[in-house]
Chains A and B, each alone.
Chain A
Amino acid sequence: MSTASRLTRSRTRSAWAFLAPMLVVLALVAAWPLARTIWFSFTDANLSDMSAAQFVGLANFEYLLTDPDWWRSVWNTLFFTLVSVSLETALGLAIALALNMHMPGRGLLRTAVLIPWAIPTIVSAQMWAWMLNDVFGVINEMLILIGVIDQGIAWTANPDTAIWAVIMVDVWKTTPFMALLLLAGLQMLPSECYEAAKIDGIHPVEVFWKVTLPLLMPALLVAVIFRLLDALRIFDAIYVLTGNNQATMSMSIYARQQLVDFQDVGFGSAASTLLFLTIAVFTTVYLTLARIGDSGGDHP
């Protein structure tokens, strides 16, 4: 036996030893609860007496797929995700481009932009709930003052505006996250391309489309996938702003209501499992498309 292979083996061993704590923790906090939830989704477990749970096969899923309230929450979640992530990407990109320019006070500005992201969602959502209040909310007060409306709008109460209020709060909160990831991406771009473009006298807009955007694509894709995964699980902002209201109920809120309010652990777990599968499918499709785009694209 050569010393080299012994060395490799001992290295592998110590690698496993170093990895083991993390793997154990992951198994405990991620794999085990997930497996348990999936198992419960095939039973009629009830929170008041978990030991009496019985295997019921696919009954929970059958019932779930015929429940119009579930489909409503699916639609709400998808609508929320697509609109809020698109807005956050566009705004985040604009802010990142602005912050990337050389100007005085840039450091201060970068810190300031992060503030919404630093406030816990529960706190900021409650803050927004007060600001959006129809009678004494500051937003209505300002809009009335400048004469856009003459009567307070009940942003979170009206089913037509409620989902938009939620989207706005989410955009306000997570655009900084997007901006920061994209700013990091922008700062990695090679300055040679820009110098070349400058010498050639190419219009800045064209530089953006032909140079910046393609080079930024990898960072952009990562940022978008982070946000997508997060948005599909949306719970806190909606729950604080509108509670169990069906007009804005997301898949997470639906699952929580079944699990906690109605004690129906089996059915609630089925909803959670479907949510998990939805996110998994989204991620896989997205990553596959991104990879195809990546290999077929004309950038390096």
Chain B
Amino acid sequence: MLRLATLTAVIGLSIGGAAQAATISISCGAVGAELEYCQSGAQAWAQQTGNEVQIVSTPNSATERLALYQQLLAAGSGDVDVFQIDVVWPGLLGSHFIDLSGDFSADEVSAHFPAIVENNTVDGKLVAMPWFTDAGLLYYRKDLLEKHGFQPPQTWAELSTIAQKIQDEERAAGNDKMWGYVYQAKAYEGLTCNALEWVDSFGGGQIVDDEGKITIANEKAAEALTFAASTVGTISPEGVLNYQEEEARGVWQAGNAVFMRNWPYAWSLGQAPDSPIKDKIGVAALPKGGEDGKSTGTLGGWQLAVSKYSDNPAEAIDLVRYLTSPTEQKRRAIGGAYNPTITALYQDTDVLEAAPFMGDLFDTFTNAVARPARVTGAKYNQVSAEFFNTSHQILSGQAKADEALGALADKLDRLSRGGRW
């Protein structure tokens, strides 16, 4: 903190106010290649404008990152000018950010997915610009499915059968570390995303509906989580109960899993020259709950917001403009498979060549299921924690799905004072 201040002061003195260069610090995620792309993008802006950037790397777990942000912002600290925030945070953190609607033209804003812009608008204020979007995807091993004569699964039941079969046969053939399916089931925000996908794909709703009614205690949701629990220890290693994104990708990219649920970023890393599974990866939408279920993915994605406490808001806004621009989003999509939030880029041939799934799965990205962050507002974090803890209990076999979900509904009811949030 002190060092940053001194650094800024020294730079300010040495330039002597002539060039008006500012040091903008931006917080970036560090999952996969995120940090690298954030760094190169921000550096490019710095060179163009003659300013300095400082990258602040943050914890991989979204839950912990939020906690860090909350502390920084609650203290009114100007140490970080630009925050990378999750799609579920605008409601929680919005009061600490500058309203960007005056600084970005209507055309600039409307080029992005309207749903995300709406998500980032809190009480009429645009608190963050969309940077990249995410939806849960199913990664599969093309080569293994072909070898054993399978098509990518349409339902979870199919996935389970295929995974079990290939796992058994590959193990018999000597690869005793082979697993069928890996995902994220540590008790953290990522499990909320995974569990919401199961529940929604079975038709079990979104935990809390748009009116604030608590809908989670239903048969479909119980069926979905009972299925999920059946994967633990059979087609999925028991360790998934402590996996985040990168742990799952570790198993997958080492070639030890047939299927993986993850965000789009895992694509370009799996396709890297040194990846053992390069050119063996297929990407599909996540399976349906059953014949009458639907294919779904949880809406994720990250936005850039400018702190109210920033000493150089004009430069910070300019950095956000640069990073969310079509040019930069295209660079990130091609090199790092970060899904653009600009609709037009999904027709860009260069983007589609580098990450074909972006075109194939366009519907998955535009129709992704949202976590109930808007309706639950400041209590979202508690709702999510109750939901991932309940899911974790069901997955680890400590509780039966229907009873646990009933108890969850009671807790949420108490938390919301009867659904009034």
Instruction: State whether the Cβ of B172 lies closer than 8 Å to any Cβ in chain A.
Output: no
Please give, as numbers and ranges, the residues of chain B lying within 8 Å of A263 by CB-CB distance. Answer: 70, 74, 378, 381
Instruction: State whether the Cβ of A134 lies closer than 8 Å to any Cβ in chain B.
Output: yes
Instruction: State whether the Cβ of B95 lies closer than 8 Å to any Cβ in chain A.
Output: yes
Interface secondary structure of A, over-half rule:
loop
Nearest B residue to A134, CB-CB: B239
Are B396's CB and A247's CB within 8 A?
yes
Residue of B66, B378, B393 touching A246 (CB-CB under 8 A): B393
- A214 to chain B minimum Cβ distance, whole angstroms, is 45
In the assembly, what is the distance between CA of A260 and CA of B250, in Å?
30
Are B239's CB and A262's CB within 8 A?
no
Residue of A134, A245, A261 touching B66 (CB-CB under 8 A): A261
Are B239's CB and A245's CB within 8 A?
no
**Contacts A244-B385, A262-B382 known; A157 to B239 CB distance under 8 Å?**
yes
Residue of A153, A244, A246 touching B238 (CB-CB under 8 A): A153
CB within 8 Å of A: which of B247-265? 247, 250-251, 254, 256
In the assembly, what is the distance between CA of A260 and CA of B69, in Å?
10
Are A244's CB and B70's CB within 8 A?
no
Please give, as numbers and ranges, the residues of chain A lying within 8 Å of B186 by CB-CB distance. Answer: 157, 243, 245
Are A244's CB and B63's CB within 8 A?
yes
Are A157's CB and B250's CB within 8 A?
no
CB within 8 Å of A: which of B361-412? 378, 381-382, 385, 389, 392-393, 396, 398
Instruction: State whether the Cβ of B61 lies closer than 8 Å to any Cβ in chain A.
Output: yes
Instruction: State whether the Cβ of A156 lies closer than 8 Å to any Cβ in chain B.
Output: yes
**Contacts A244-B188, A260-B67 known; A135 to B74 CB distance under 8 Å?**
no
Instruction: State whether the Cβ of B241 lies closer than 8 Å to any Cβ in chain A.
Output: yes
- B62 to chain A minimum Cβ distance, whole angstroms, is 11
Are B241's CB and A154's CB within 8 A?
yes
- B45 to chain A minimum Cβ distance, whole angstroms, is 31
Are A154's CB and B239's CB within 8 A?
yes
CB within 8 Å of A: which of B9-32? none
Are A246's CB and B389's CB within 8 A?
yes
Are B392's CB and A47's CB within 8 A?
no
Are B238's CB and A261's CB within 8 A?
no
Are B241's CB and A157's CB within 8 A?
yes
Are B242's CB and A154's CB within 8 A?
yes
Are A262's CB and B74's CB within 8 A?
no
Are B381's CB and A261's CB within 8 A?
yes
Are B237's CB and A243's CB within 8 A?
no
Instruction: State whether the Cβ of A33 lies closer than 8 Å to any Cβ in chain B.
Output: no
Are A134's CB and B70's CB within 8 A?
no
Please give, as numbers and ranges, the residues of chain A lying within 8 Å of B392 by CB-CB distance. Answer: 245-246
Residue of B67, B95, B240, B396 touching A48 (CB-CB under 8 A): B95
Are A247's CB and B398's CB within 8 A?
yes
Instruction: State whether the Cβ of B71 lies closer than 8 Å to any Cβ in chain A.
Output: yes
In the assembly, what is the distance between CA of A143 and CA of B256, in Å?
20
In the assembly, what is the distance between CA of A180 and CA of B241, in Å?
37
Instruction: State whether the Cβ of B148 lies closer than 8 Å to any Cβ in chain A.
Output: no
Please give, as numbers and ranges, the residues of chain A lying within 8 Å of B280 by CB-CB distance. Answer: none
Are A159's CB and B385's CB within 8 A?
no
In the assembly, what is the distance between CA of A136 and CA of B253, in Å?
13
Nearest A residue to B379, CB-CB: A262
CB within 8 Å of A: which of B49-106? 61, 63, 66-67, 70-71, 74, 95
Instruction: State whether the Cβ of B177 lies closer than 8 Å to any Cβ in chain A.
Output: yes
- B367 to chain A minimum Cβ distance, whole angstroms, is 30
Instruction: State whether the Cβ of B187 lies closer than 8 Å to any Cβ in chain A.
Output: yes
Nearest A residue to B397, CB-CB: A159
Are A134's CB and B238's CB within 8 A?
yes
Residue of B95, B177, B188, B378 touching A135 (CB-CB under 8 A): B177
Are A261's CB and B239's CB within 8 A?
no
Are B385's CB and A262's CB within 8 A?
yes
- A152 to chain B minimum Cβ distance, whole angstroms, is 7
Instruction: State whether the Cβ of A133 lies closer than 8 Å to any Cβ in chain B.
Output: yes
In the assembly, what is the distance between CA of A152 and CA of B239, in Å?
9
- B407 to chain A minimum Cβ distance, whole angstroms, is 9
Please give, as numbers and ranges, the residues of chain A lying within 8 Å of B177 by CB-CB distance. Answer: 135
Are A260's CB and B396's CB within 8 A?
no
Please give, as numbers and ranges, the residues of chain B lying within 8 Å of A260 by CB-CB distance. Answer: 67, 70-71
Instruction: State whether the Cβ of A10 lies closer than 8 Å to any Cβ in chain B.
Output: no
- A13 to chain B minimum Cβ distance, whole angstroms, is 37
Q: Which residues of B contact A (CB under 8 A)?
A: 61, 63, 66-67, 70-71, 74, 95, 177, 179, 186-188, 237-243, 247, 250-251, 254, 256, 378, 381-382, 385, 389, 392-393, 396, 398
Listed by A's residue number, 16 A-B pairs whose Cβ atoms lie within 8 Å are A47-B71, A48-B95, A136-B250, A136-B254, A156-B242, A157-B243, A158-B241, A159-B396, A243-B63, A243-B188, A244-B385, A246-B392, A247-B398, A260-B70, A261-B63, A261-B381
| Extra pairs beyond A157-B240, A263-B70, A263-B381 (19, CB < 8 Å) | A47-B71, A48-B95, A135-B179, A136-B251, A152-B237, A153-B238, A154-B237, A157-B239, A157-B396, A242-B187, A243-B186, A243-B187, A244-B63, A245-B242, A257-B385, A260-B71, A262-B381, A262-B382, A263-B378
Q: 9 closest Cβ contacts across the A-B interface?
A: A134-B239, A154-B238, A157-B241, A157-B242, A154-B239, A245-B187, A260-B67, A47-B74, A157-B239
Q: Which residues of A contact B (CB under 8 A)?
A: 47-48, 50, 133-136, 152-154, 156-159, 242-247, 257, 260-263
